[in-house]
């Protein structure tokens, strides 16, 4: 990891490219997904057919950008930051949550300050791992299923395979949308609300500003 004027180079270019495509893509998917889910004759956020086309194309783009994330994480040491150790995890996550709920409003120091070795605090690590290694693959796989319904099993007991895939896809989409709201709030925590947003654009994190 490069360092410049005590700043840590947390986000190499491949992470920034993946993250940018993913962030824009997920916003488009949420908007078009809501349009597809809730449209009826009296209510439409945008043209229905356009929403379907945009959702399909953006879904493919987000799927491809996930390949950048997977290959980058496989070929660099970035994957280490996502490794959750089960021993002591609960206590650490609790400590970090207490900091977010009480400590930071009382000007306490963060219990797990970020450093070259610790890019994520324990709560971030757990949530990012679940989002990136469970929810995103789940969304992409069910999305591929809905794009090519002939791949889906016809019935699971008495329920249609397509119905179950759509239900899982929409539920995961909902959970990722909730994650995004919390992610934006947590990213705004720091000495200045825009500090972390600058970091994900220029790559450098300033540990003194956390």
- Please list every residue from 120 through 149 that binds ligand HEM, using CB under 6 A: 128, 131-132, 136
In the chain the first and final C-alpha atoms are separated, in Å, by 19
Count of CB atoms within 10 A of residue 25's CB? 20
Query: For residue 192, what is the DSSP state?
Result: S
Closer by beta carbon to ligand HEM, 23 or else 162: 23
Q: What is d(CA 51, CA 34) in angstroms, rounded to the nearest whole number?
A: 9
Is residue 79 a contact point for ligand HEM (CB under 6 A)? no
Q: What is d(CA 144, CA 149) in angstroms, rounded to the nearest whole number?
A: 8
> Tokens 């395979």 belong to which residue?
161
Q: Which of 23, 84, 166, 175 contacts ligand HEM by CB under 6 A?
A: 23
Query: For residue 40, what is the DSSP state?
Result: B
Closest Cα to residue 111, out of 89, 133, 93, 135? Answer: 93
Q: What is d(CA 79, CA 77) in angstroms, rounded to the nearest whole number?
A: 5
From residue 38 to residue 57, the character string flagging contacts with ligand HEM as x (rule: CB under 6 A) and all else as - is --------------------
Is residue 200 a contact point for ligand HEM (CB under 6 A)? yes
Q: How far is the CB of 153 from ligand HEM (least distance, A)?
A: 27
Q: Which of 22, 65, 142, 165 contacts ligand HEM by CB under 6 A?
A: 22
Is residue 28 a contact point for ligand HEM (CB under 6 A)? no
Q: What is d(CA 194, CA 122) in angstroms, rounded to the nearest whole number?
A: 22
* Count of residues engaged in binding ligand HEM, rule: CB under 6 A: 22
> Contact region for ligand HEM (CB under 6 A) — 16-24, 46-54, 87-95, 164-172?
16-24
Q: Name the site residues for ligand HEM (rule: CB under 6 A).
A: 11, 15, 19, 22-23, 26-27, 78, 128, 131-132, 136, 176, 180, 183-184, 186-187, 196-197, 199-200
């Amino acid at each position: 990891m490069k360092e410049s004027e005590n700043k840590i180079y947390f986000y190499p270019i491949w992470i920034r490219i993946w993250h940018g495509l993913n962030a824009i893509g997920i916003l488009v998917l949420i908007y078009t997904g809501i349009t597809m889910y809730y449209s009826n004759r009296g209510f439409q956020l945008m043209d229905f057919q356009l929403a379907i086309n945009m959702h399909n194309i953006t879904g493919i783009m987000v799927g491809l950008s996930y390949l950048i994330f997977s290959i980058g994480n496989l070929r660099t040491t970035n994957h280490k930051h996502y490794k959750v150790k089960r021993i002591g995890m609960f206590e650490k996550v609790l400590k970090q949550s207490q900091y977010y709920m009480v400590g930071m409003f009382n000007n306490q120091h963060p219990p797990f300050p970020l450093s070259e070795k610790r890019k994520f605090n324990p709560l971030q690590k757990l949530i990012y791992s679940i989002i990136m290694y469970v929810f995103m693959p789940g969304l992409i796989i069910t999305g591929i299923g809905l794009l090519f319904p002939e791949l889906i099993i016809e019935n699971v007991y008495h329920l249609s395979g397509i119905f179950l895939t759509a239900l899982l896809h929409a539920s995961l989409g909902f959970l990722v949308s909730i994650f995004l709201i919390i992610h934006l709030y947590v990213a705004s925590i720091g000495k200045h609300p825009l500090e972390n947003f600058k970091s994900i654009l220029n790559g450098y994190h300033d540990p003194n500003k956390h």
